[in-house]
Amino acid sequence: MTILVIAEHDNNELKPVTLNTLSAAQAIGGDIHLLVAGSGCQSVADAAAQIPAVAQVLVADNDAYEHQLAENVSKLVQGLAASYSHILGASTTTAKNVLPRVAALLDVNQLSDVMAIESADTFKRPIYAGNAIATVKSADAIKVMTVRGTAFDPVEGAGGSAEVVNLSDVCDAGTSRFVNEEIAESERPELTAASIVISGGRGMGNGENFELLNKVADKLGAAVGASRAAVDAGFVPNDMQVGQTGKMVAPDLYIAVGISGAIQHLAGMKDSKIIVAINKDEEAPIFQVADYGLVADLFEAVPELEGKL
């Protein structure tokens, strides 16, 4: 049994979530190959070769893969698939874009957002916004799946020396073209990788008030998130959204500020180790999942918290 894992990267750096995905592959068992598809991505391939869990690194370095266009990468993976029992990617917008396409090309289903490996063909995954956990058995010849990073501890990133194989095949569908990208520049850690997350909800009142959270985040080295209500109200951009339709986070500490705790939001953060809720409504459902609840006006409590850190 050999497993293919799709590396998550930006052509310069291998993203840490790849190590979590590799951990899920290890739980399935068998040799693991890591595919680095990109352009000018040698540094990523070098980093990938250092991972002890990886037996072989496949490098597809071509302009066609620079922006991970699904039309091109899916055909590349399709061409490699026959050698593999499983194909895994992280539950990121990149892999969620590409892997269902791969699955359809292979005439198999995909298992999305796998959170536990029961055996080589049986997996647990959340449904209904995490309000139910399904155990699903797949009889497909190749199991294609995306993996929830926060559910698997990362494998070691250094100390190995995997064989590196350069792929020469170029798959360019020619039907899509990258135009541009606007990535929010931030000194803070990424939401899904941060060990502390502080999120604001509708109670924040407006986007400017998120500055209160930013100050706390800077002191704690935390990432800043938001509830869907705050995103819908236009306070902050969509990529900050924690919840069923946003990002799934499971940090050591999650601080929910002015968030009532809709099931949609809880689905995205209830696996956090410690949850703190600050809300002036003591009936807010968020308090039912919080380890520490503070009933207070956030506009007084948050600056005070910042002062005491």
Binding residues among 123-182 for another protein as defined by CB under 8 A: 126-140, 173-182
- Does residue 265 touch another protein according to CB under 8 A? no
- Does residue 270 touch another protein according to CB under 8 A? yes
Choose between 18 and 192: whose C-beta lies nearer to another protein: 192
Choose between 8 and 32: whose C-beta lies nearer to another protein: 8
Contact code string over 200-229 relative to another protein, x by CB under 8 A:
--------------------x-------x-
- Please give the helix or strand (H or E) that residue 292 lies within, else none: strand 292-295
Nearest alpha-carbon partner for 294 in 275, 273, 309 = 275
Q: Which of residues 85-104 bind another protein (CB under 8 A)?
A: 92-94, 96-104
Q: How many residues at the interface with another protein, by CB under 8 A?
A: 91
Sequence-distant (≥ 6) Cβ neighbours of residue 51 within 8 angstroms: 19, 22, 34, 155, 156, 157, 158, 160, 162
Q: At what angle do helices 93-105 and 70-80 cross, to 10 degrees?
A: 50
Q: How many CB atoms lie within 10 A of CB 150?
A: 20
Answer for the pair 112, 163: CB distance below 8 angstroms, yes or no: no
Choose between 24 and 290: whose C-beta lies nearer to another protein: 290
- Does residue 235 touch another protein according to CB under 8 A? no
- Contact with another protein (CB under 8 A): which of 82, 83, 208, 309? 309
- Distance in angstroms (rounded) separating the CA atoms of residues 220 and 257: 15
- Distance in angstroms (rounded) separating the CA atoms of residues 30 and 135: 22
- Does residue 274 touch another protein according to CB under 8 A? yes
Q: Which of residues 18-57 bind another protein (CB under 8 A)?
A: none
- Contact with another protein (CB under 8 A): which of 67, 86, 202, 265? 67
- Does residue 74 touch another protein according to CB under 8 A? yes
Choose between 168 and 175: whose C-beta lies nearer to another protein: 175
Answer for the pair 175, 201: CB distance below 8 angstroms, yes or no: no
Q: Apex CA 42: angle with CA 37 and CA 45, to 5°? A: 65
Choose between 32 and 216: whose C-beta lies nearer to another protein: 216
- Does residue 71 touch another protein according to CB under 8 A? yes
- Does residue 187 touch another protein according to CB under 8 A? no
Choose between 49 and 235: whose C-beta lies nearer to another protein: 235
Choose between 185 and 208: whose C-beta lies nearer to another protein: 185
Give the phi and the psi of residue 78 in degrees, each rounded to 5: -55, -40
Sequence-distant (≥ 6) Cβ neighbours of residue 300 within 8 angstroms: none
